[in-house]
Structure 1
């Protein structure tokens, strides 16, 4: 059960079916990959849950489960988890949950008890080891999650998905051949965009770089004012929301995600690495698992503008290092984060839960 699933999730479902798992999907018909799943014969229900207490949605899930065809329900968001737990009440069905980010789960939070801390959840699949460690560390009095319930499975990708032609950045006023840093994300404080802008202001005067800020950051007036206070505000370019964000990253020299907290395994970083773009990330969540410091990119402390500035300067001064890390980043996605590995690992979890080979 999913909502508007992304490409990696869709390919996981299709891959599992191709490996012989009798798998069906309930998904939001407005999702970009719904038609692909439908064409693969996977859709057994159209569902767009309104909230965690959606009675109509819960009834629809119950109707599908009452066919008796299922041993496992794997849910990919908290709404679906809460509704699936109620829908499967009284049934002998294993419940598998997906967790893609650190935080917002607590034994003192009632909503956590109807989702991830519910005793009927048999397995929580974590998209990064950092998330598994976070969940394993949750305690209240004698209460804790059994380690055996927590599994780490990286969300797999495939380089074949990333064949877009790099965008022409001159559209944004960036000169051809200019050293360009790309940063993509939603306008939330924890993403650390203010730290990134501050880091650029700390670069030496002879360093000429352009920053491409992709997403709804154009609405952030505080960030715009910070940019205007820089020595060269004309080198920072707000693109607004773009459907071609991967192509923009592919046209850049460096991709930066300066998050301050609560990251999982960011898709934007993986997309950039798949195009051979060197990543610079903070030591937050699963990002150090994705980027090998000094090999496939650079990892810096969070909320540290000087360290981030030093990392960018290092790549600017050493283009051979930049190119080598970019190549290593692409190979890392190809060898260590491939969708086939995700399919195999998830299949093993299903078999373990059901006692089947």
Structure 2
């Protein structure tokens, strides 16, 4: 039964991921139409998306957007958010780097651009008792949030480095089963899966509430522990048509990130207030406290890591290779930072700054 878990969804996801998500936007640049009447923003109810949670709960976005109406939509994984953005259903999204890269390449650079970073760190492989080393993973079932999302790519790449074969349609030496995070938690508690590579707060929930332990902290796989978990992605056409609105969004975003870094003692209450507003349920205090120790909030998108991220996705078969030039446009962010007397961030040679 375990090896058949969600294989139908896996095959559907593979088809959508490798053949779809390409935007149909015109290659002709749009003209500046002034502030938008509405900005539709996507995000996840994850600690790694705390900038969005704080920006909403503390009213920073509302303050900076002024007369522009803010509408929000909650997602559980990046590929689904990218599909909505590529279809024009949302204008901007807090999202992991892998789906952002995938839509950029699939659309030949026309769908969306990264305008800021949000979070570094906060992802790990949590496993059950009895799994104490990579050698113990043969024949196991491990979950990720969605096929082709950032943690899915990280797990498949790491398993490959450890000598295991995986498949985007199920099977292999280790079965990787893309599963909704809440369902992953339930399956892990009931012993139906052996572990999961997830973002916070799900790592901390599996450890503190599910009885698991961390086998791999993704930070240990990167120089200085710095790797992007969440970035802010904007539809390219929306940026071209409404640069003032995107700048206003970035102003609120930078305020939220600054607040998170300067108010660690107050952050749990604000994050939980927004989670409660969204889901009707707050995180346990110990879960949220542990999760926040694993992340770093930053507007720097860590652009120089993206060629390696793309290489991993291509290697595991969840993305096609392509040119990343133009993926970043941090010009408006750097203007916001300059107004705050803060230093600029880099596009890593992959865009404008």
Question: TM bucket by the smaller chain?
Answer: under 0.3
Normalised by the length of structure 2, the TM-score is: 0.28
**Structure number, greater radius of gyration:** 1
